[in-house]
Structure 1
Amino acid sequence: MPLRMRLGVDDLLRCRFAVSPLCQTHEALRMLRRPERHGYHRPWLRRMRAAVAELDLSRMWLFMPPRGGYTPDFLGAPPDVPSASFADELARMRSTDPALARAEMARSLTCTPGAARSPAGRQALADPARTVQELADLTERAWHALLAPHWAGVRALLEADIAYRSGRLAAGGWEALFADLHPDLAWTDDTLIHSTPHDFPGAQQADGRGVLMVPSVFVWPDVISGFAAPWQPTVIYPARGMGALWQAPAAKAPSALVRLVGRTRAAILSDLEGPSSTTALAHRHGMAPSSVSAHLSVLRDAGLLTARRHGHQVLYERLPLAVALLGAESAARG
């Protein structure tokens, strides 16, 4: 039975987006656990092979069923602010009520036959406070080994997705927002419907808390929803552009454009398939953000780009003149 989440007026007023480094860390670990999620991340996986080998993830795997199922919500709890630091989120995880942690861990263990009766499962449930701290320690090591070195680029992509989704919501309401968010999500009659192979009895009420929308680079091809009380109802969905996150820019700038604006500016202009920040472009091109910023300023002053602020960063997009310049050489060949 699909999950049906009814949203009242108060819920619609309190729906928001957020970026969560803790959520991204646990989705990255869950991605390692589930090969069907590996596709877009093979370049990152190759680079992280040694780091992954040094992490003993057996305790974490206990609560991440390999074929799907429930993972304790406190491992990647819905963030309570739009853009928390990893340190703040980790501290919040460490403060989890042991009784709540035990209940969620027990529910998770039932998804893997025999896990609750295994020595590791019994030990985890016998001392949930200690287990929370052990899982937090492992999460911290995973963050620093796997995600922290790449966080600037990942965060820029997530914030660009939020800017796009916010625009969809402003232009067409909730129906427009969910139209291309994920094939398993639909919006009808003030109800968010998540088609999922897992059973959710009845409808979940947001009770005026709204729904938290959290983009993720690691959750594809899935979408995750639910989160029982005391957590805010949350939807974790694949972020736009995550397929190109670990790839070097593939587009080759037209030679005429290179002669006109220079090789570096032409490469940046060619790479701007969608809204992007200075940080994200610097990450993809292996350049210092200050250098990219200088080139973007020149392109903007030339009428090739537009810039708009979203949160604490500025997103750049091509203007029609840039699109025409990029297409001029192929048109001439045709």
Structure 2
Amino acid sequence: MSVSIDIAGLRTERVAIVPSPMAELGMALHTLSEPGHHPGLQGWATTVAAGLDPSLADRMTDAEFLWRSTFSDLFMPFAGVPGGRSVPGATLAEELDLLDRLSDEQFVDTALEFTCTLPYSTAGASALADARTRRRALYLAAARGPRQLDFTERLLGDPPRIRGWLRRFAEDCDAAFFAATWDRLRHRLAADARHKTDLLRRKGLAEALTAVSPVVTLDAAAERITVDKLGDGRTATGDGGLLLVPTSLGRPHLTVLHRYGWQPVLHYPVASPELSSPPSVEQLLLRMTALSHPVRLRLCRHLARSAYSTGELAQAHGMTAPEVSRHLGVLKRAGLIITRRRGRYVLHQLDVTVVARLGGDLLEGVLR
């Protein structure tokens, strides 16, 4: 299981290592909505959440699926600009301008990634043009709740309006808390980018990638980068470039943007992890036994990002619903997942705080 990037013909000068304020805003929003993913940032998240204006906090829930479960590629608009040569802007305003350069189809299909209804690594029908894709997107949005369904209906009905909503929301977040956070983080991120750029120029791409993470490897003969993840995907630099974007708020997530037609991006953490205490021996035995099956481990990767129904998981993994139910039962008995009912939907989600107690390596593997 891995994500591969075909870099045939890629020249060193087309590899850019640049911080992105908008990508970091996306991780800030993710941390605020899922503080359990980031034990070392709970103090920051608590302080920010306590100081938020109630109306802004309420708006965060309208489209939280853009940052809670999928790290929406909308927070890396530079990767979707035609030509595959754009880099992150120096300011949030510059990157919001890049967001305006995405087509309506790009904007809508990227925002709907949370529904798992659209192809990611390959070309597919747009929800704006294909009635079947549109219906399925609305059906899956309904499983997330009435707010998510309402947002999706407005997104499909009037993309420019939602594009404007997202811009205003990002600007309000910047004024409320992110500008101060970015001012504190940007120097460290810039220093990390300079260090890895120096490695790239002096010692080559392999050394720079090793410095990014030991799970990122280069096969020079095959002209391919491989990122070890609990998921499969593929992309290529083609005539464009490769972007490496450091994040301070993103640990333990190492994300790979491999959307079809977009410039590949490695979004990698630079902060040091802070691990939780280990569980008891009895809990460890029960939970590690539950996680010893590769199918259950792959289910955990989905469940760590959002709550899913049995049917959704079955379709995503090419399994039958009874097969998925059996695996979910094992995970539930081990205390690894939380199940709740929302209307006629029964949704399951990984308890990431429990996984964190099993160890940092496991948590990073599931969330990577």
**Under TM normalisation by the shorter chain, which class is it?**
0.5 to 0.7
1:194 match: 227
Q: Does the 8 Å contact 1:157/1:242 carry over to 2?
A: no
Query: Within 5 Å, which residues of 2 pair with 1:282-297?
Result: none
Does the alignment pair 1:88 with 2:87?
no
Per-residue CA deviations over 1:265-289 (Å, capped at 9, x if unaligned) read: xxxxxxxxxxxxxxxxxxxxxxxxx
Question: Structure 1 195/34 Cα, relative in aligned 2: closer, same or farther at 3 Å?
Answer: farther
Give the corresponding residue for 1:215.
Answer: 246
Cα deviation digits, residues 85-140 of structure 1 (max 9, x gap): 21111122244322221222233323799542433322322222211111221111
Q: For the structure 1 residues 10 and 180, does the alpha-carbon distance in structure 2 shift closer, same or farther, using more than 3 Å as the test?
A: closer
Displacement of 1:146: 2.0
Instruction: Tell me whether 175-184 or 218-227 shows the greater mean CA deviation.
Output: 175-184
- Give the letter aligned to residue 205 of structure 2: W
Q: Which residue in the other structure is 1:157 paired with?
A: 188
Q: 1:75 to 1:160 in 2, by over 3 A?
A: closer
1:62 to 57, 60, 65: 65
CA contact (8 A) 1:185 1:195 kept: yes
Say if 1:88 and 1:136 are closer, same or farther in 2 by CA, change over 3 A.
same
Of structures 1 and 2, the larger Rg is shown by 1
Give the length in aligned residue pairs: 238
Residue type matched to 2:61 in 1? S
Show the 5 A alignment for 1:25-40. Answer: 25-40=25-40
1:172 maps to amino acid: K
1:5-20 to 2 correspondences below 5 Å: 5-20=5-20
- Report the alpha carbon displacement of residue 65 of structure 1 after superposing the two structures with TM: 4.6
Measure how far apart 1:71 and its partner are.
4.2
* Cα pair distance change 1:162/1:4, threshold 3 Å: same
Counterpart in the other structure of 2:204: 173
In 2 relative to 1, CA 214–126 (structure 1 residues): closer, same or farther, beyond 3 Å? same
Q: Pick the aligned partner of 2:114 from 108, 114, 136.
A: 108
Shift in Å, 1:24: 0.9
Amino acid at match of 1:235: L
Aligned equivalents of 2:99 and 2:51: distance in 1? Answer: 23
Instruction: Give deviations 1:215-250, integer Å, cap 9, x for gaps.
Output: 01111101111242543211110125698xxxxxxx
Question: In the TM superposition, what is the alpha-carbon distance from 1:57 to its structure 2 partner?
Answer: 0.5
Cα separation, partners in 2 of 1:35 and 1:215, compared to 1, 3 Å: same
Q: Identity rate of aligned residues, in percent?
A: 20
Deviation of residue 162 (structure 1)? 1.1
Residue 218 of structure 2 aligns to a residue whose secondary structure is: strand
Report the CA distance shift for 1:192/1:10 in structure 2 as closer, same or farther (over 3 A).
closer
Q: Using a 3 Å threshold, how does the CA distance of structure 1 residues 175 and 16 change in structure 2: closer, same or farther?
A: same
2:217 partner letter = A
What is the DSSP-based 3-state SS (H/G/I as helix, E as strand, rest coil) of the residue aligned with 1:96? coil
- How far 1:177 moved relative to its partner? 1.4
Letter in 1 for 2:15: C
For residue 149 of structure 1, give the secondary structure of its aligned residue in structure 2.
helix
Match of 1:219, SS?
A: coil
- Show CA shifts across 1:6-64 (max 9, x none): 21233433101112111111111112222343222233223312234632211231333
* Distance in structure 2 (CA, Å) of the matches to 1:94 and 1:83: 13
Partner SS for 2:263:
coil
Distance 1:4 1:227 in 2: 9
The change in CA–CA distance for 1:33 and 1:199 in structure 2 (over 3 A counts) is farther
Could you list the runs of 5+ residues in structure 1 that have no partner in the other structure?
Answer: 244-334
Residue number in structure 1 paired with 2:169: 138
* 2:163 aligned partner, one-letter code: V
Which segment is superposed worse, 26-35 or 223-232? Answer: 223-232
Q: What is residue 283 of structure 2 aligned with on the other side? A: none
Distance 2:5 2:194 in 1: 24
Closer, same or farther in 2 for the Cα pair 1:122/1:158, shift >3 Å? same
Counterpart of 2:230, as a letter, is P
Aligned to 1:3: 3
* Cα gap change, 1:76 to 1:242, in 2 (>3 Å): farther
Who is 2:23 aligned against?
23
Change (3 A) 1:11 1:60: farther
Distance between the aligned counterparts of 1:208 and 1:178, measured in 2? 20
Q: CA RMSD in A?
A: 2.6
Is 2:94 aligned against 1:98?
A: no
Structure 2 Cα separation of the partners of residues 77 and 65 of structure 1:
18
Equivalent in the alignment of 1:43: 43
Residues 65-98 of structure 1, C-alpha deviation per residue, up to 9 Å, x if partnerless?
Answer: 53xxx44422332363465221111122244322
User: Which residue identity does 2:235 align to in structure 1?
Assistant: Q
Native 8 Å contact 1:217 1:242 kept in 2: no
Map 1:257-276 to 2 at 5 A: none
1:199 Cα offset (Å)? 2.8
CA distance in 1, matches of 2:88, 2:179: 19
* C-alpha separation in 2, matches of 1:24 and 1:235: 13
Q: Is 1:127–2:127 an aligned residue pair?
A: no
AA aligned to 1:31 is: T
